[in-house]
Structure 1
Amino acid sequence: MSFLLAALALTGSPGPNTLSLAAVGASFGRLRGIEYMVGLNLGMVVVIALVGTGMAGIVLAIPGLAPVVTVLAAVYFLYLAYRIATAPPLQKVAGEQASETKPAPKWFEGFGLSLVNPKAYAAMAALFSGHVLIETSALADNLWKAGLLVATICVVNIAWLSVGAAMTSALQNPHTSRAVNITFAVLLLLSVAYAILL
């Protein structure tokens, strides 16, 4: 139970993935945000595998690689923040919220965000190293952790997308929409900076 509570706290707290997902929900609506959410989830499966097997530590131990990864991640976060900040106001179309003038982020953008998210690696490392679920088998222990983490992340991401999408009715006003989008973009960048400084 302590593992699930820790997983919920670490994966559900505001960070690059969750804030970007809420921003996508607010900027593009729930339905158009599902593809992005699926990409985030798939990316987290890869992060879990990399951390659970120890590959993330091995790769980042290569001399000179960590700064390159950090710069590439920073560029990607700036790009995503720009996409969120410049998303046009949503418009009501046949009972659905939609902003068709600009395409919603695709699955591969969510996938990429998960792979370069420093908070994701830190959270997974803390969860894998800080808890033992099955003492008799390291493999079974890691598989159970991975399964529980994937399920938790899916639930958390649905909640964050829904929270963002719940704001869409207020975002039909162009001034409100712009202010909210810029706020989400700034919060995304601040969450990345915080995760890097930890």
Structure 2
Amino acid sequence: MEIKTMAGWHEFAEKNSNGSWDKYCKPGDLVGEDVYDYFLDVLPPRSMERGYLQVGEPHSHQANIITRKWQATYATFRRVEKGIWMYCGNCFAGMTWDADAASSSLEGFLKVTYRIEGSQRICRPRLVCKDGFSVSVQAGEDFQCAPREHRPDGDYESVELGNPSGLEELLVPYAEDKDNLLKTAYPYVPVELLKVVIEVHGGLYG
């Protein structure tokens, strides 16, 4: 995979009228240590831990799908290995998923909320719709979904839902416990059906 560098960014900017960082580098791209050093020196960091950096100046303000509040986003980097970092996009404080991609589509949500630390897969945040309906959406080797594997690209045919915030008739046929619909799992829910549910509830919050 290509490693984005400062030299590459400068070359890109010379050839394009809008040579901004976000035009050159997309969430998920790998970058070199020189890029990390540049953003580290631009301003005092907003957040900085071992293997994690958020640039100090907000990129934008938008709705957070988890907190349902209007919050600032920051250019964010996460170390992949020595000298190599991943650009996570413009993320909310303390997070590593691109705010725009997470609220643009279900596929975007599944892709940007994928995360593994060491051998441990980190659960995705709850998916929240504009009318307030929310539900746990999980997929990977540990869940009842298809394909049943960790997929960083978020490309699934079905996913496992759980603990919806309210009754949703479209999902009832998939409930494991039909006597406790708000506190049960919904295995192998087709992604296309979940898209319909999201539209019924006004679309993704964001």
> What TM bracket, shorter-length normalisation?
under 0.3
Query: Looking at both structures, which has the greater relative contact order when contacts are Cα pairs under 8 Å and sequence separation is at least 6?
Result: 1
Question: Which has more radius of gyration?
Answer: 2
Q: Scaled by the length of structure 1, what TM-score is found?
A: 0.21
Between Structure 1 and Structure 2, which shows a larger proportion of strand residues?
2
Q: Scaled by the length of structure 2, what TM-score is found?
A: 0.21
